Structure 1
Amino acid sequence: MVCVTTLCGSALFSGPLLGSDLRRTPIVEAVKSARPSVVNIKGEKTLGASDPQVLQGDVGRRVNGMGTGVVIDPAGYIITNHHVIDGVREIQVTTADEHEYIAKLVSRDPETDLAVIKIDPTEPLPVVKIGTSRDLMPGESVVAVGNAYGYEHTATRGIISALHRAVQVSDAQYYEDLIQTDASINPGNSGGPLLNIDGEMIGINVAVRAGAQGIGFAIPVDKAVSVAADLLAAHGLQRVWHGVQLEADGPQAGLAPVVGSVADESPAKLAGLESGDVITRIGNLEVERALDFHRAILGLDVGQSTDLLVRRGDETVNLTLTVAKVPGYLKPAVGPYWELLGVELKPTPDDEFRQNYRTRYRGGLSVTAVRPDSPAASHGIREGDVLVGMHIWETISFKNVDYVVDRVRSHSDSASLNPVKFYVLRGSETLYGYLPIPVAMGKTVQR
């Protein structure tokens, strides 16, 4: 009896425990593979009407915001929701290895509620595996990963409940063609990945139906990466020029992008690229979608070259592309305060101002853009603000701003005026700060 027991014990415990293998399900592997590319985002922000979880009475209230992002390039480019970073004074990012960074906003698209931000990591970051949303099936298993309620890297599982949902989350935010899932998507999950069972990102988590159980939504990944590619292309055009216009990603995932057109006398033209070429490699990066091409270009400086592998009909062609300085006619037109202060301003119509703001101010100038690393950006001015005053003067028109800037830059006691106290309307709040005005460049640009 003892012998039998000993033999049985030996048989039971001599090999590896089966439970370990049984527990390592596809869900476990999917979370494990995606987790290193998921980052947590936080920072103080002003609640806006476009925030999917905001209550109407909370618009304009400052809160400690939280959200999630996904690494799409080893150099630190991260995709997230626009509403996650909108109104955030300082975008704080924590990577999966618990390194903390301050992110810069690269570009955003409020209409699709997507944004790209950038950190400068100490070493290359893991990149999420990008799948496709073209072949999704209602009923298939999915996993949502994110910073739910501040609990980092929370994973929840569910299924795809439906496709092509249209959702109105507020007067300011409307979504089309969303993925509906019963995987729990909570505040803080926004901007994180929705994964399939293979660990591929198939969507960007965006919203939950208030008051409903098990109804969450995600932006399809094909749309998300297409928008991200456009945002990176626009950002790249601020630095270098190549002259390639790519067609939209093809009908099947994993197909390299097709060259739609090549600008005359451009670097691409000089390199020998032609309309209809299929770019399959740039440098050491395999190109499977337009996003890959544009993120590779972002790593190049003016005058730098990279190898291209192109499919042209039945032939494979090797080319060398040398990017150039952006021609003046391609640079975006900006107003007189862009170089000086880093803001683009436009007058706010009287009726619009009275309708949107109940305030003692008579009017203001809407901030339509803020240049990263500018005086305006580093001192708290945000896109969407309305500038209503500088020092003791109102700012209803450009002439008002011209007067203040000229006074600061030419007045004998400019030191007592500079930095200039400014006032902005943001939501239901009136905020103020201090904006330094450069004084070494002469007077303001002439109108």
Structure 2
Amino acid sequence: MKTNFITFADTASQSAGGSEQDAALLDAYSSTVVTVAQRVSPSVVQIKVQTKPASRPGSGRGRAQPGRDENSGGSGSGFLISTDGYIITNNHVVANATHITVTLAARGDEPSRDYEATLIGRDPATDIAVIKIYADGLKAIRFADSKQVQVGQIAIAIGNPYGFQYSLTAGVVSALGRTLRSESGRLIDDVIQTDASLNPGNSGGPLVNSHGHVIGVNTAVILPAQGLCFAVSSNLTALVAGQLIMQGRVRRGYLGIAGQLINLTERIRLYNQLPAKTGVVVSHVEVDGVAENSQLQPGDIIVRFGQQSVATMDDLHRLLTDATIGQSISLTVLRNNRPVSVTVIPGELPG
């Protein structure tokens, strides 16, 4: 039997080799982040808004609070998606804005530039908004396919935290397929979770991959938690932004009902062969002519929309897309604990 002994010289040699490999890997990572920063920064903008301050209860409608300016302000981030000046940001950054100013990064010897922006459209249901500036020499950023994003890949966030221009944080994609409740009450689907640090002012900035392509729009952070930050996926953002640019809003279907979650007993579920343990019970039917819903009755429990199972109001919101507007849709409801098929024609959700 042959025994090999490792000498101190061999150990030192291996340690030195390992250090060189670690240094090479670190240089590669650093080089990637630096390259992305140089490529993306010219497309990231700082957004400053002026809004009417909220009136205090009992102070009179529209009256400003004592000791405050007539206009209050805020700031956020955004990024250029076209060379003719279209910019994506968060809805909550520009909501109720009376004046929007966009600051472009300084380039070479050129100082930073300020432009007045026009609001093109905003969608509270996804927290996405589009604004536009009129300027020359703009550099746009590309979208990546968020369906190709994988847990563990590099995620780089660029924005303006606390008003400081163009800060960068790097991390990884820590989870996919999250949902986030928007200000409108609807769920935002396919949200990307990352541990790249986000702070106030980062909202609306891009979350990019190692190629400098947008995989998400930074939108929220859970303050008590460490490393729980969220971004609206690039695919959803591109879809919403396209509709905002073309139509100024996002069209969605509307049933004209008030409903709430209800638990189904095991007996009812098994008897009717239902996959979900809950449904949506209709508590009120609006007869406003926007939607054709006369076959629905209070007390009906909606369990299916077309061929799709319905377990919550969020399921209904997700299924009521613009494609359903004006179309005859078959709903399966439980009426007196028995399945009944009714036909509805969704209208357009009032904007």
TM range (shorter): 0.5 to 0.7
Per-residue CA deviations over 1:254-276 (Å, capped at 9, x if unaligned) read: xxxxxxxxxxxxxxxxxxxxxxx
- Corresponding residue of 2:114: 100
Q: Following TM superposition, by how much is the alpha carbon of 1:152 offset from its aligned partner in structure 2, in angstroms?
A: 1.1
What TM-score do the two structures reach when normalised by structure 2? 0.55
Q: Give runs of aligned pairs for residues 77-96 of structure 1, distance below 5 A.
A: 77-96=86-105
Q: Matched residues in 2 for 1:47 and 1:114: separation? A: 22
Unaligned runs of 5+ in 2: 1-23, 55-67, 107-111, 250-349
- Corresponding residue of 1:117: 131
What TM-score do the two structures reach when normalised by structure 1? 0.43
Q: Give runs of aligned pairs for residues 251-270 of structure 1, distance below 5 A.
A: none
Q: Following TM superposition, by how much is the alpha carbon of 1:166 offset from its aligned partner in structure 2, in angstroms?
A: 1.2
Q: Matched residues in 2 for 1:33 and 1:149: separation? A: 23
Amino acid of the structure 2 residue aligned with 1:26:
T
- Corresponding residue of 1:25: 31
Q: Matched residues in 2 for 1:181 and 1:154: separation? A: 16
The answer to whether residue 82 in structure 2 is matched with residue 68 in structure 1 is: no
Q: Matched residues in 2 for 1:78 and 1:171: separation? A: 22
Q: Give runs of aligned pairs for residues 19-418 of structure 1, distance below 5 A.
A: 25-45=31-51, 63-97=72-106, 98-121=112-135, 123-168=136-181, 172=185, 174-235=187-248
Q: Following TM superposition, by how much is the alpha carbon of 1:210 offset from its aligned partner in structure 2, in angstroms?
A: 2.3
Q: Matched residues in 2 for 1:137 and 1:23: separation? A: 18
Per-residue CA deviations over 1:336-395 (Å, capped at 9, x if unaligned) read: xxxxxxxxxxxxxxxxxxxxxxxxxxxxxxxx98xxxxxxxxxxxxxxxxxxxxxxxxxx
Q: Following TM superposition, by how much is the alpha carbon of 1:169 offset from its aligned partner in structure 2, in angstroms?
A: 6.1
Q: Matched residues in 2 for 1:153 and 1:46: separation? A: 27
Q: Is the 8 A contact 2:152 2:174 kept in 1?
A: yes
Q: Matched residues in 2 for 1:160 and 1:47: separation? A: 37
Q: Is the 8 A contact 2:44 2:166 kept in 1?
A: yes
Q: Following TM superposition, by how much is the alpha carbon of 1:179 offset from its aligned partner in structure 2, in angstroms?
A: 0.2
Q: Is the 8 A contact 2:155 2:208 kept in 1?
A: yes
Q: Following TM superposition, by how much is the alpha carbon of 1:168 offset from its aligned partner in structure 2, in angstroms?
A: 2.9
Per-residue CA deviations over 1:34-72 (Å, capped at 9, x if unaligned) read: 100000001223589xxxxxxxxxxxx974211111101
SS in 1 for 2:146: coil
Q: Following TM superposition, by how much is the alpha carbon of 1:137 offset from its aligned partner in structure 2, in angstroms?
A: 0.7
Q: Is the 8 A contact 2:127 2:182 kept in 1?
A: no
- Corresponding residue of 2:263: none
Amino acid of the structure 2 residue aligned with 1:80:
T
Q: Matched residues in 2 for 1:175 and 1:68: separation? A: 20
Q: Matched residues in 2 for 1:215 and 1:45: separation? A: 29
Q: Matched residues in 2 for 1:23 and 1:136: separation? A: 18
Q: Matched residues in 1 for 2:215 and 2:231: separation? A: 9
Amino acid of the structure 1 residue aligned with 2:48:
K
Q: Matched residues in 1 for 2:214 and 2:230: separation? A: 14
SS in 1 for 2:199: coil
Amino acid of the structure 2 residue aligned with 1:145:
I
Q: Is the 8 A contact 2:48 2:100 kept in 1?
A: yes
Q: Following TM superposition, by how much is the alpha carbon of 1:176 offset from its aligned partner in structure 2, in angstroms?
A: 2.3
Q: Matched residues in 2 for 1:25 and 1:126: separation? A: 22
Q: Following TM superposition, by how much is the alpha carbon of 1:89 offset from its aligned partner in structure 2, in angstroms?
A: 1.6
Q: Which structure carries more relative contact order (alpha carbon 8 Å, separation 6+)?
A: 2
Aligned-pair identity in percent equals 40
**1:109–1:22 CA distance, 2 compared to 1 (3 A):** closer
Q: Matched residues in 1 for 2:184 and 2:246: separation? A: 30
Per-residue CA deviations over 1:81-106 (Å, capped at 9, x if unaligned) read: 11110012210100113110110111
- Corresponding residue of 1:58: none
Q: Is the 8 A contact 1:76 1:124 kept in 2?
A: no
Per-residue CA deviations over 1:185-242 (Å, capped at 9, x if unaligned) read: 1111111100101111110000001211111000000110111111112159xxxxxx
**1:199–1:171 CA distance, 2 compared to 1 (3 A):** closer
Q: Matched residues in 2 for 1:169 and 1:47: separation? A: 22
Q: Matched residues in 2 for 1:74 and 1:131: separation? A: 18
- Corresponding residue of 1:295: none
Q: Is the 8 A contact 1:202 1:221 kept in 2?
A: yes
Q: Is the 8 A contact 2:151 2:176 kept in 1?
A: yes
RMSD in angstroms over aligned alpha carbons? 2.7
Q: Which runs of 4+ in 1 moved over 6 A?
A: none
**1:92–1:129 CA distance, 2 compared to 1 (3 A):** same
